[in-house]
Copies of this chain bind each other. A is one copy, B any other.
Amino acid sequence: MKPVSKTSPPGRIKIMTSFSTLMGTKDFQSITIAEIAKNAGVTEGLIYKYFKDKKDLLYQVLCQHFAGFLSLVQDRTAAENSCIAKLEAIVSASLESYNQNRVFARILLLEVRNSPAYFDSCAYAMVKKYSRLIREIVCDGIAKKELKPDTDPFLLQKVILGAIEHTCLKQVIFDRELDVQAASSGIINIVSYGVKK
């Protein structure tokens, strides 16, 4: 079996980009296999040579997008020293990516979580890496006495991830622009210092 590289079977590439393009204008459910094939200039049968089913195509496209996203996040955090600065880097890099790549954001935030198969996909494996990264930064911050010692790393990770997602959710759904800078510094401010007077 030949390795599946980023450029190898032209058909595979065409199918994935065709699908990605279609996801820019409509939701997963209303995109048909016939449409994907026609748009890619291949036959329906070929799609099933490279993808188990329609959802597998979705997961693999997400996986590709997420790979780029994850390495961006890793680079940005590595460039920062303090725990808070690292967390702000994650928040802003995430919001920036979701803002710039709406297809990626819509797949990740709206289209995959509903089916069990997703949680066995390579895309979800990357999501786990991403959330583990946040948790590790938090743990490190506690160890270095930058964060309060009673902070629950799991809970804080969830609060940050939830904040990121919900902050851009409306913009992603209704295709509106997001002020990434304002939102990320706002989130970090709330999480760092709290809102109570």
Contacts and interface: CB of A to CB of B under 8 A. Distances in A.
A159 B189 CA distance: 11
Interface in A175-196: 183, 186-187, 190-196
B173 A166 contact: no
Contacts of A69: none
Contacts of A1: none
A110 to B, nearest CB: 5
A68 interface: no
A2 interface: no
A193 B194 contact: yes
A196 B163 contact: no
Interface residues of A, number: 45
Contact of A166 (B119, B161, B192): B161
Contacts of A30: 115
Contact of A162 (B110, B167, B194, B195): B167
Interface of A: 27-30, 84, 109-111, 113-116, 119, 145-149, 151-152, 155-156, 158-159, 161-167, 169, 173-174, 183, 186-187, 190-197
22 contacts: A27-B116, A29-B114, A113-B169, A119-B174, A146-B196, A147-B195, A147-B197, A148-B197, A149-B197, A152-B186, A155-B167, A155-B187, A158-B166, A158-B169, A159-B159, A161-B162, A162-B163, A162-B166, A165-B165, A190-B191, A192-B194, A192-B196
Given A109-B113, A113-B169, A158-B166, 14 more contacts: A27-B114, A28-B114, A29-B114, A110-B113, A114-B114, A146-B197, A148-B196, A155-B167, A159-B162, A159-B167, A162-B163, A162-B164, A190-B191, A193-B196
